[in-house]
Amino acid sequence: MNSYEKQEIAALPDKYRPLGAWSYFGYTILFSIPLIGWIFIIVFALSGSNIVRRSFARSYFCILLLAIILIVIAGAILGFGNILQIFQQSGAQ
């Protein structure tokens, strides 16, 4: 990053300053902590102090919800398949 880019970033209000790569890494680890991470995701997703952090928290929250939905669907499909197998085995005897 050249000096002009550094000056431009320094001139931005705190609300619009970009996050560095280590910040994303740290927030990802923080959000991965089971209960505390969910609390921080909600707080950061609703906070307006840094828009970039808020957007990252919202995207992480959406990915978690999508993963939960997919796990529930996969569990329902696999569970339903196991139930069918049990019925088929009991009917064959």
Helical segments of 16-50, H only: 21-32, 34-46
Domain with 21 in it: 3-92
Angle at 47 between CA 46 and CA 53, to 5 degrees: 100
Whole-angstrom Cα distance, residue 55 to residue 62? Answer: 11
64 has a pLDDT exceeding 60:
yes
pLDDT of residue 29: 97
Decide: pTM greater than 0.85: no
Q: Are 50 and 14 in contact (CB under 8 A)?
A: yes
Percent pLDDT > 90 in the chain is 57
Enter the DSSP assignment of 47: -
Closest among 1, 55, 47 to 23, alpha carbons compared: 55
* Residue keyed to tokens 């707080």: 43
Domain total of the chain: 1
